[in-house]
Amino acid sequence: MTTAPTAPPPPMRLRELAFGAACAAALRAAARLGVADALGDTPMTVEDLAAAVKAEPKPLRRLLRALACYDVFAEQPDGTYAHTATSRLLREDDPHSLRAITLWCTEAWTWDAWPKLDEAVRTGRNVVEDLYGKEFFTYLNEDAPESADVFNRAMTTSSEQSARDVAALLDLSGSASVADLGGGQGHVVASLLDKYPSMQGSLLDLPRVVENALPRLLPGGDLADRARIVPGDVRTAVPVRADVYVIKNILEWDDESTARLLRNVVEAGGPGTRVVVIENLVDDTPSMRFSTAMDLMLLLNVGGAKHATDSMISRLTEAGLGVDDVRPVNSYLHAFDCTVPK
């Protein structure tokens, strides 16, 4: 029976880390094959699983054995396999599913880019433009539409899950309006409008993004009479006035773009406006392995970065914001509660 191993001695630990790509590839293979979806609440034989996902039993057993070492699936004493709390997250129908995010983090372009990390560290530049001859998102949309679709599904899943945590954390009871800047499809603003039935909300993002806003926010939706959809680029201007601005997971560009966005918010809101910035951090968080990995991925694909607590506070104060409080939203996000000084 395969079980998750205890911590190995340093020489073996380094060997395991050097083979980290094997774990990522195994997760991707399991997600693409649909193994977690085929496996129900009752343990199954490898032969039955192989038939369900149209795979060969022997290599599937090897895949499952490798994943079981990381507590993704569990091998039973009789040789059958069962779900673990981790493997259930690969199911498409799990309410906390991470299947789309798993696929996004292991898309084909990542296997081209990761070997060039040393180049990105030397130069401070992304490597994608040299690899593909164009900016990252242009490449995705023009040359890798399937990967672009995976990205969109992953971001939607992540937004849905974190929006509930953001709404639970924020007390906006003294505010009449909120604007979600770079808010994608509008999961955060929808969650806040649900929490505060008298509040007005605005969603500002690029035109091609807000075209796919949640139906609830669009004409005919149950939140439409309290929601305003504003197409635009927050780095150019913030043409929305609100009591509270929420900026979630978009301060990952180059320093100038980040500074420009924050200046736009200060100008749009004016003195006394509340600004809540929500970001992953690469320090002071229980999810540092995830956050630091995302930080390196941003260096590779767009030349961006995640922030440490001090660097985030520096950027906020340099833009003219006063930082009143820093609190965890969940295990991987922090909220910086700020005010435009009067």
pLDDT digits (tens, 9 = 90+) for 73-120: 999 999 999 999 999 999 999 999 999 999 999 999 999 999 999 999
Report the DSSP beta bridge partners of residue 177: 200
pLDDT score of 119: 98
pLDDT score of 209: 86
Strand 274-279 relative to strand 81-82: parallel, antiparallel, unpaired?
Answer: unpaired
CA distance 73 to 275: 42
Mean pLDDT of all residues in 22-32? 98
Report the DSSP beta bridge partners of residue 217: none
Name, in order, each residue with C-beta under 8 angstroms of 127's C-beta and a sequence gap of 6 or more: 113, 116, 117, 119, 120, 300
How large is the C-alpha radius of gyration of the chain? Answer: 22
Mean pLDDT of all residues in 232-257? 92
User: Does the pLDDT value for residue 151 go beyond 80?
Assistant: yes
Distance of CA 335 to the CA centre of its chain: 15
Q: Are 251 and 258 in contact (CB under 8 A)?
A: yes
Q: In 3-state terms, what secondary structure has residue 158?
A: helix
Q: Is residue 48 classed exposed, middle or buried when 0-12, 13-18 and 19+ CB atoms within 10 A define those classes?
A: middle
Strand 200-205 relative to strand 177-181: parallel, antiparallel, unpaired?
Answer: parallel
Highest averaged pLDDT of the listed ranges 102-116, 135-149, 156-170: 102-116
- Phi, psi at 179, each rounded to 5°: -125, 130
Q: What average pLDDT does the chain have?
A: 94
Distance of CA 133 to the CA centre of its chain: 26
Q: What is the Cβ-side half-sphere exposure of residue 155, based on CA atoms within 13 angstroms?
A: 16
Q: How far is CA 143 from CA 18, 105, 148, 155, 297, in A?
A: 31, 18, 9, 19, 19
pLDDT score of 1: 72
Estimate the share of the chain in helix, then strand, then coil, as percent rounded to the nearest 5.
Answer: 50, 15, 35
> Per-residue confidence at 257, pLDDT binned at 50, 70, 90?
confident
Q: Which range, of 271-275, 319-323, 329-333, averages the lowest pLDDT?
A: 329-333
CA distance 340 to 78: 63
Mean pLDDT of all residues in 45-73? 98
Q: pTM for this structure?
A: 0.88
Q: Where are the alpha helices (DSSP H) in 42-107?
A: 46-53, 57-68, 99-105
User: Does the pLDDT value for residue 43 go beyond 90?
Assistant: yes
